[in-house]
Amino acid sequence: MNQMPEHPLERFLRMDRIPHIWCSGCGIGTAVTCFMKALDEAEIDPDKVVVVSGIGCTGRVAGYVKFDSFHTTHGRAVPFATGAKLANPELTVIVFSGDGDLFAIGGNHFIHAARRNVDIKVFCINNFIYGMTGGQVAPTTPLGARTSTSPYGCFEPPFNLPYLAESSGAVYVARWTPLHIRRLTHSMAEAITKKGFSFVEIVSPCPTVYSRYNRLGDGLDMIKYYRDNCRIENWADTKNVPMEMGSEIVVGKFVDIDKPTFLDYQRGQTDGK
Amino acid sequence: MSTILPLTGNESGAEVMRQIAPDVVAAYPITPQTELMHRFADYVADGKVPTELILVESEHSAMSACVGASAAGARVMTATSSQGMALMWEILYIAAALRLPIVMPLVNRSLSAPINIHCDHSDSMGARDTGWLQLYCENCQEIYDTGIQAMKIAENKDVLLPVMVCYDGFILSHTVERVELLEDHEVKGFIGEHIADHPLLDVDNPVTYGPLDLQDFYFEHKRQEAEAMRNAKPVVLQVAEEYEVLSGRKYGLFEEYFSKDAEYIMVCLGSAAGTAKAAVDELRAAGENVGLLKLRVFRPFPAEELVAALADAKRIAVMDRADGVNSIGGPVFSEIRAALYGRSSAKISNYIYGLGGRDIDIEMMKSVFQDMKDGKYAEEAFYLGVRE
Ligand SMILES: Cc1ncc(C[n+]2csc(CCOP(=O)(O)OP(=O)(O)O)c2C)c(N)n1
Ligand code: SF4
């Protein structure tokens, strides 16, 4: 009998939910592969992993992974994750969601979880747009970029996410693209084992809406763009890593510091009382 | 002169917004409202409307920005669906209580959880007591006509309340139909100039919106709001009459479709009324004494008029595309039964249907009429088209 060997990552996926919804050339799938490999690298017990997503193309991750997972409402992944972590601090709680979900409608939760240094990990697919709802302008859309609601170009300045994360209090901050699969995997593994609020931004192609509106080609063209335009600069000052249309993209591990988490502080107050 | 175009529900909504040309629109995208805003954003970008369009970071912000702009004296619109409206919740009450005539197309979609993008009325029905008027549409023509009328109703000095124009997600929002449009100047003339009531920008007569209002006057202000909702009923009718003169199309609080002499009457709102009409046609052709009452205006609730219209029915079946999850029945049913209490001997049954976009067809509608004829009755709601 000629049986197909099981794919090494199948044990992390709900195979009955595959094929997934993501378009060909989309970066989300690659990022999920890196995430699975990072769990291996970090040697985490899969039974102690919780994956929380908001709503969006990226939000679908929670439905495909074979862990305890929660597909929450739009923008609320971080507070749901905070609750899960505080209820059972043994868990490794990972938020996997989109830039719109985390920084538009859910932006307030992100900055406060980082400020408190809640020990959760946030992996954000930044495709510069609201992918799922048809490519509307987002708080990450670069100046001048066309979207379905900014047909002549976005005129609002975007967030620089690593800078926002660091200044809000994150202890680990990195940015990669789906070109950098080994580095991205390694950063995810580091974030998973790090104690405290950790943030990995994955700059990611959305060929179906973002690239189409801006004539950036297909998924492969975007990967080539990353190859030609990404500069690896570990420990770069996050102030200096904003992205613009057609600009260089600074990637790397930017922040890795230690400080007490929310639970450390709280236990410090309550221990012995 | 009128223009006839093939338009989806969302495109009809966008035409309403283009012709009304509000001063400010603040919006956040959500399926199935999205295409409405795409089209409107194009109009703004192409300079076809002078609107300030703010693409805010959530629906809570969208409604908040609308409230700010409306209080400042602007003519304001937005649009949303489902979770988007759920997130506006806090500010829906503020808009109504501050008497701000904001108009909002609400593209009906079920509420999470579980997540579902298809049509039911749980979003708007949940907001039925927020102080907003609610007008429901059966088809794309009604979306257009109702949207235009909504602005005039909202801004009437005796009303000054926000209005939701509710239409079924996907079933109408994404379906192309023949839609007859008025000319731009006709709409402008019909709705007139926006004259704001106590605008913040009137610096010679400064006012404060929303200050603390405790035991001294809060109650009186809420009483006035309730009165405004009462006033809205004749205004809806008066605006409908004026609109008929302009367009030739007739609107009222509800539509009586072969129900005046019917023994068995179904009450229904939204696009399912079209399906119900087809069922009534077939049954009438077979000689059966059935009819439909299509509710258009749910807020203000036209209790008196409904009692009169349903007085001679032997049996009434009320269709709800939202479950009250209250062990009594759906919201339309509860209102109708309360209105008829002590004023009708008809047995009234309740059918919950179409949740999360579950299809409803003519045969199912006919089965409801058959149930009435068979005397099938229960205190609790029947669930139509669900796997038990
Ligand atoms: C309260 C609320 N508002 C709006 C929406 C509609 N919505 C679903 S996903 C989404 C944006 C998703 O964008 P992003 O988070 O960047 O993820 P992507 O799809 O690009 O992966 C929006 C606006 C919603 N589900 N809930
Ligand atoms: S729309 Fe964009 S983000 Fe969504 S799956 Fe397709 S390519 Fe990916």
Cα gap B269→B301, rounded to integer Å? 13
Q: Are B153 and B235 in contact (CB under 8 A)?
A: yes
Q: Coil, strand, or helix at residue B55?
A: strand
Supply B43's token pair.
Answer: 């109009």
Q: What's the B51 CA to ligand 2 centre distance in angstroms?
A: 30
Domain boundaries, chain B: 3-191+221-247, 254-384
Beta strand B254-257 pairing with B290-295:
antiparallel
Same fold, B3-191+221-247 and B254-384: yes
Cα gap B205→A115, rounded to integer Å? 44
Q: What's the B41 CA to ligand 1 centre distance in angstroms?
A: 18
Percent of chain A's residues with pLDDT above 90: 94
Q: Are B365 and B372 in contact (CB under 8 A)?
A: no
What is the identity of the amino acid at B107?
A: V
Sign of the alpha-carbon torsion through B311, B316, B321, B324: positive
B37 has a chain A CB within 8 A of its CB = yes
User: What CA dihedral angle connects A161, A166, A169 and A172, to 10 degrees?
Assistant: 100
Are B112 and A133 within 8 A, CB to CB?
no
Cα gap B167→A250, rounded to integer Å? 47
Q: Check pocket membership of A101 for ligand 1, CB cut-off 6 A.
A: yes
Instruction: Report whether CATH 3.40.190.10 matches the domain B3-191+221-247.
Output: no
Sign of the alpha-carbon torsion through B248, B252, B257, B260: negative
Correct CATH for B254-384 of 3.40.50.920, 3.40.50.10150, 1.20.120.50, 3.40.190.10: 3.40.50.920
Q: What's the B131 CA to ligand 1 centre distance in angstroms?
A: 28
pLDDT in tens, chain B (388 residues): 689 999 999 999 999 999 999 999 999 999 999 999 999 999 999 999 999 999 999 999 999 999 999 999 999 999 999 999 999 999 999 999 999 999 999 999 999 999 999 999 999 999 999 999 999 999 999 999 999 999 999 999 999 999 999 999 999 999 999 999 999 999 999 999 999 999 999 999 999 999 999 999 999 999 999 999 999 999 999 999 999 999 999 999 999 999 999 999 999 999 999 999 999 999 999 999 999 999 999 999 999 999 999 999 999 999 999 999 999 999 999 999 999 999 999 999 999 999 999 999 999 999 999 999 999 999 999 999 999 9
Nearest CA to ligand 2 atom 2: A206
Q: Are A134 and A213 in contact (CB under 8 A)?
A: no
Give chain A's contact residues with B (Cβ, < 8 Å): 55, 71, 73-75, 104-105, 107, 130, 132-134, 136-137, 139, 148-152
CB neighbour list of residue B379: distance below 8 Å, 6 or more residues apart: none
What are the structural domains of chain A?
10-270 (3.40.50.970)
Confidence band of A216 (pLDDT split at 50, 70, 90):
very high
Cα gap A37→A28, rounded to integer Å? 14
Q: How many CB atoms lie within 10 A of CB A215?
A: 8
Using alpha carbons, select from B291, B334, B310, B179 the residue that is nearest to residue B253.
Answer: B310
Q: Are A118 and A197 in contact (CB under 8 A)?
A: yes
B236-263 exposure pattern, b = at least 16 Cβ within 10 A, e = fewer? bbebbeebeeebeeebbbbbebbbeebe
CB neighbour list of residue B207: distance below 8 Å, 6 or more residues apart: B198, B200
Q: Which atom of ligand 1 is nearest to the CA of B115?
A: 25
Are A104 and B57 within 8 A, CB to CB?
yes
B199 has a chain A CB within 8 A of its CB = no
Q: Are B110 and B118 in contact (CB under 8 A)?
A: yes
Within A88-209, strands assigned E span: 92-98, 121-126, 172-176, 198-203
Q: Check pocket membership of A207 for ligand 2, CB cut-off 6 A.
A: yes
B48 has a chain A CB within 8 A of its CB = no
Rg (CA), chain A: 18
Are A137 and B55 within 8 A, CB to CB?
yes
ipTM for the predicted complex: 0.95
For residue B34, which residues of chain A lie inside 8 Å, CB to CB?
133-134, 136, 148
Residues in a beta bridge with B163: B103, B133
DSSP-derived secondary structure for B216-270? TTHHHHHHHHHHHHHHHHHHHHHHHHHHHHHHS----SEEEES-TT-SEEEEE-S
Q: Are A150 and A160 in contact (CB under 8 A)?
A: no
